[in-house]
Amino acid sequence: MKLLEWLYPSKCPFCGALLEDPGEELCPACRAGLPWTGTKAVTRGSYFSACVSPLYYRDMARQGLLRFKFRHRSAAASCFGRLMADCVKANIEKEIDLVTYVPLSFLRLRKRGYSQCRLLAEALAAQLGLPCVRLLRKRRHTRPLSGVREEERRRAVVSGAFALCRGAEERMKDKCVLLVDDVVTTGATLGECSRLLLTFGADRVVCATLCKANRKQRGTAETV
């Protein structure tokens, strides 16, 4: 066994169990018991034609994502990106040109120290063999959407919160853009970002998240 593997053994990103085979990314229990979306992986929304998610936002999937977002478990991005890439390949037929992500506000980025959506997007892009491009910035800090259940109120919170980065129009003109977030609930954040991308030249926007909330969970996901 290599020294680094002995000092830092591989763990399942969802439950934290040690992985017997370093080549595996999930433990057998999570591979069998995670809340996979299966045939219900696709969510339809405003402005984006489809959002695909391999997991429902509950149980170990929720716990794994929360550790990734709030406890600096950034190494999980590789596994999460692979799961999302498999879901994209299975459900998105149109050719994708580039990958981008929902940005954090400066205040939240400074507090957290990293952007979980950027890590997911980079891992996903690597799996798909596509460039990961920063197209969006958050122009104002918004309060967390957790606890905001009504779709119209969630849309009001994020309305006008995002803007394009310099040079974004040229990079995405007439392109199919894959927009990445961690969780989709009502689709308010993805819809607002997709609207902006389409307004300024993207041909089409499709989305990917690690998890999707079911109807009973809407407004409870700890989003950006």
Domain CATH for 140 = 3.40.50.2020
SS3 108: helix
Share of the chain above pLDDT 70, in %: 82
Q: What is the pLDDT of residue 188?
A: 87
pLDDT exceeds 80 at position 146:
no
Q: What is the pLDDT of residue 88?
A: 98
Domain span holding position 208 = 25-215
Classify residue 90 as exposed, middle or buried by CB count within 10 Å of its CB (0-12, 13-18, 19+).
middle
Rounded to two decimals, what is the model's pTM? 0.86
pLDDT exceeds 60 at position 10:
yes
Least confident of 51-55, 69-73, 87-91, 127-131: 69-73
3 in any annotated domain? no
User: How far apart, in whole angstroms, are the C-alpha atoms of residue 66 and residue 63?
Assistant: 5
- Which strands sit side by side in the sheet containing 176-180, from one edge to the other? 42-43, 51-52, 204-208, 176-180, 98-101
Q: Which residues contact 28 (CB under 8 A, 6 or more apart)?
A: none
64 in any annotated domain? yes
Q: pLDDT band for 6, please (50, 70, 90 cuts).
A: very low
H/E element, 184: strand 183-184
Q: How many domains does the chain have?
A: 1
User: How far apart, in whole angstroms, are the C-alpha atoms of residue 53 and residue 206?
Assistant: 12
175 in any annotated domain? yes
* Overall average pLDDT of the 142-153 stretch: 54
Q: Which residues contact 86 (CB under 8 A, 6 or more apart)?
A: 54
